[in-house]
Amino acid sequence: MSPEWWRNAVVYQIYPRSFADADGDGVGDLPGITGRLPALVELGVDALWLSPFYRSPQADAGYDVADYCDVDPLFGSLADFDALIGQAHRLGLKVIVDLVPNHSSDEHPWFQAALAAPAGSPERARYLFRDGVGPGGNEPPNNWPSVFGGPAWTRTTDADGSPGQWYLHLFDTKQPDFDWTNPEVRAEFLRVLRFWLDRGVDGFRVDVANALIKADGLPDVTSDAETNMMSTILTATSGAGDAIVHSGPTSPMWDQDGVHEIYRDWRRLLDEYPGDRMMVAEAWVSPLSRLARYVRPDEMHQAFNFEYLSAPWDAAAILAVIDSSIAVNDSVGAPTTWVLSNHDVVRHASRFGLADLTLRPNGIGATDDQPDAVLGLRRARAATLLMLGLPGSAYLYQGEELGLPEHTALDDDLRQDPTWMRSGQLERGRDGCRIPLPWEADAPGLGFGPTGRTWLPQPESYSALARDRQVGVNGSTLELYRAALATRRERDLGNGALRWVPSAPSVLTFSNGPVTVIANLGDGPVPLPPGELLLASGELVDGALPPDTAAWLVG
């Protein structure tokens, strides 16, 4: 019997507002995606993950959902969704949708009802409303900070105009957290899951899966690392993952044991459906052994491997994270996943070009130190070739197949990520990795849509990287991805097993079945291992592998 599809799948993340625009308003939409599906088949991915397209005031680009069972008119309609998934399935692509269960939008009917209802009412009990402390209840109920900056509490105003209770939002003010101890909330999300499963989705990416349950009594955070939570989720330092502390006994809001019961319920529901439906956890949890708890046999199927994403361009660090990832996932029978970029982090073609690789900034602005674009792309191509040679499942973020850099000089006035304002303009935020894709170099808006409008401006560098400039061009990043994905499929690398081959300290070499993967992270050229060269991320020099280059060989 062949393994479940998700065990070895390469999943391509679509950020709908920036993928392709069919109606010309400058914001990508579902028909835009449907129209471009053939490009994804040509690329050779197995599945798509769509970031949220639900009804939403877009306070956090759709991660603030006002109706979980409808499409926002900005992106189209439910009929457009049905057309998209129908076409994707005909083309052999699986479709995963984003589920945002930790919080809704403040414009969700439940939250509006809660605001209109008195303290202590069943309407308020679906969220986390509390009285303030201190004289007049003027202080927030505890000291929790919001991930986006500022306090995690906002005070409401009662009908008579007087200050009322406070509500919890781990993210933006417009993203109130649900109270997951309330059975009504649990029942509602089972309904939402069924709604999309009945519509044929193949799985769910579960947003902040480690946050749904908070410690009893909502106690203050005590550790500096957590009080300074801005540094945890979006600006985590790289390396050993030391700053990623969304877990552990000291954290009252992250990685509480109670979350697992929720995923067991969901797993039972998914198992009722035919066809290997799956869930993948977005959980910035450290260490990996805590993350593995989300993918035990009766819980989720996968979890994003952010420790891999956070590893610096350093052979020892990458080797260590690969080994521990495989070990902890093996211990629970889950496939290991790999990821280098997504809509929350600086694109890896820019990250790897930063002078200080131990930093992972939350966005880069025009006045910040700029990455070395040539070095960054060179390393990014090598890093991708290394990643796609690993057994397990890999996640790609739209545009990385074009080698797109971060927009590092975006006008600050155009920034839309709530992080920018909430951090008092200290953190640039994530707009720079969310720029509309360049499809055609000579078309207005680089072919993003029919009118040339784009909700954020594209940097000049995107023109030369437009897809039509890369198709069929030997050595282009797009052709490198296509060749790697085709070979990965042909050789079944996703189902393979990794065996390290002894190498110099700055070189990583492993075999996966018949294929040998080598990456040179050092300063000088290294000889290739024996075998026929299948692919290289850059040109060889006198038959040797130059620095910041990876290759695949066979035989």
Q: Which residues are part of the catalytic machinery?
A: 207, 272
Q: Does 177 bind ligand GLC (CB under 6 A)?
A: no
Given 207, 255, 406, 427, the residue binding ligand GLC (CB under 6 A): 207
Q: Does 208 bind ligand GLC (CB under 6 A)?
A: yes
Closer residue to ligand GLC in complex, CB, 204/552: 204
Helices 78-90 and 30-43, packing angle to 10 deg: 10
- Residue 452: strand, helix, or coil: coil
Closer residue to ligand GLC in complex, CB, 98/202: 98
> Beta strands of 273-405 (E only): which ranges?
278-281, 302-303, 337-339, 393-397
Give the H/E segment covering residue 197.
Answer: helix 183-198
Q: Does 226 bind ligand GLC (CB under 6 A)?
A: no
Q: Does 63 bind ligand GLC (CB under 6 A)?
A: yes
Q: Strand 54-55 to strand 67-71: parallel, antiparallel, or no bridges (unpaired)? A: antiparallel
Task: Answer whether 243's CB lies under 8 Å from 205's CB.
Answer: no
Closer residue to ligand GLC in complex, CB, 256/342: 342
Q: Does 72 bind ligand GLC (CB under 6 A)?
A: no
Tell me the closest approach of the beta carbon of residue 155 to ligand GLC, in angstroms.
21
Tell me the closest approach of the beta carbon of residue 436 to ligand GLC, in angstroms.
17
Q: Positive or negative CA dihedral for 340, 270, 122, 258?
A: negative
Give the H/E segment covering residue 384.
Answer: helix 373-388
Tell me the closest approach of the beta carbon of residue 344 to ligand GLC, in angstroms.
5
Q: Does 255 bind ligand GLC (CB under 6 A)?
A: no
Given 21, 29, 46, 60, the residue binding ligand GLC (CB under 6 A): 60
Where helices occur in 333-365 by DSSP H, the ranges are 348-351
Tell me the closest approach of the beta carbon of residue 53 to ligand GLC, in angstroms.
14
Q: Name the closest residue to ligand GLC (Cβ).
A: 63
Task: Answer whether 367's CB lies under 8 Å from 414's CB.
Answer: no
Sites for ligand GLC among residues 282-311 (CB under 6 A)? 282
CA dist list (Å): 387 to 57, 309, 488: 36, 10, 11
Closer residue to ligand GLC in complex, CB, 362/384: 362
Helices 477-490 and 373-388, packing angle to 10 deg: 10
Closer residue to ligand GLC in complex, CB, 7/126: 126
Q: Does 433 bind ligand GLC (CB under 6 A)?
A: no
Q: Does 171 bind ligand GLC (CB under 6 A)?
A: yes
- Residue 164: strand, helix, or coil: strand
Task: Answer whether 16's CB lies under 8 Å from 51's CB.
Answer: yes
Give the H/E segment covering residue 32.
Answer: helix 30-43
Phi, psi of 328 (to 5 degrees): -70, -35
Given 202, 299, 307, 344, the residue binding ligand GLC (CB under 6 A): 344
- Residue 379: strand, helix, or coil: helix
Closer residue to ligand GLC in complex, CB, 283/508: 283
Tell me the closest approach of the beta carbon of residue 431 to ligand GLC, in angstroms.
12
Q: Does 100 bind ligand GLC (CB under 6 A)?
A: yes
Task: Tell me how many residues contact ligand GLC (CB under 6 A).
Answer: 9
Helices 30-43 and 477-490, packing angle to 10 deg: 70
Site residues for ligand GLC per CB under 6 A? 60, 63, 100, 171, 207-208, 282, 343-344
